[in-house]
């Protein structure tokens, strides 16, 4: 067992492949661009944290552990900025000749953990964020943010984001 704490997401697997040790514990942190969905994203320059164990399985390297990051986005009801944390479990193979779609490429005894971390965190980003499960949204008549008090309209709320609430109950659109 060896601990690797280099700055980037690249991991040298030469000694693991040689059999110098059975497992390699790796903790990495850094910026991974492109973790973004239309209504939520990991902010530019914000760090992603990856903590994994690497082990050799045949000629492939199995990476298991977790990745986490903070996200920001827009509340689907009140349209205010909102934020949260996502964490993803990782269990993926890196291979010199990726045979199936969900294997990641490696070369010259080096693999890039940002590849698995990006894919896993993307799936965890909320598609329709809420600032709060109880968010009251905006009045459709006067536009007032009803979280900061009711308005004097007697207008029947007709939230255009209601369709997302329906979807949310049918699928897993957010937390």
Site residues, Zn ion (CB under 5 A): 75, 77-78, 131, 135, 139, 141-142, 151, 153
> How many CB atoms sit inside 10 A of residue 67's CB?
26
Is beta strand 104-105 parallel, antiparallel or unpaired with respect to 81-95? parallel
Supply the minimum distance, in Å, between the C-beta of residue 171 and Zn ion: 20
Q: In this complex, which beta carbon is closest to Zn ion, that of residue 62 or of residue 79?
A: 79
Q: In this complex, which beta carbon is closest to Zn ion, that of residue 87 or of residue 148?
A: 148
What would the 3-class secondary structure string for 154-169 be? Answer: CCCCCCCCHHHHHHHH
Instruction: From 43, 50, 54, select the one nearest 67 (Cα to Cα).
Output: 50
Supply the minimum distance, in Å, between the C-beta of residue 73 and Zn ion: 11
* C-alpha to C-alpha distance for 52 and 64, rounded to whole angstroms: 5
Q: In this complex, which beta carbon is closest to Zn ion, that of residue 3 or of residue 158?
A: 158
Q: In this complex, which beta carbon is closest to Zn ion, that of residue 109 or of residue 141?
A: 141
Supply the minimum distance, in Å, between the C-beta of residue 165 and Zn ion: 12
Is beta strand 60-74 parallel, antiparallel or unpaired with respect to 47-57? antiparallel
Supply the minimum distance, in Å, between the C-beta of residue 131 and Zn ion: 3
């Amino acid at each position: 067992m060896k601990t690797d704490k280099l700055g980037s997401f690249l991991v040298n697997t030469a000694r693991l492949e040689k059999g110098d040790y059975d497992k390699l514990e790796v903790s990495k942190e850094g910026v991974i661009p492109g973790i973004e969905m239309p209504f939520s994203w990991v902010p530019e320059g914000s760090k992603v944290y990856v903590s994994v164990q690497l082990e050799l399985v045949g000629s492939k390297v199995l990476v298991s552990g977790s990745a986490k990051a903070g996200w920001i986005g827009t509340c689907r009801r009140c349209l205010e900025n909102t934020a949260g944390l996502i964490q993803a479990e990782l269990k993926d193979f890196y291979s010199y000749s990726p045979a199936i779609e969900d294997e990641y490429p490696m070369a010259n005894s080096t693999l890039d953990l940002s590849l698995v971390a990006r894919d896993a965190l993307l799936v965890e980003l909320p598609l329709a964020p809420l600032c709060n499960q109880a968010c009251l949204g905006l009045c459709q008549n006067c536009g007032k943010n009803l979280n900061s008090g009711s308005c004097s309209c007697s207008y029947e709320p007709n939230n255009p984001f209601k369709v997302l609430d329906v979807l949310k109950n049918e699928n897993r659109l957010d937390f």
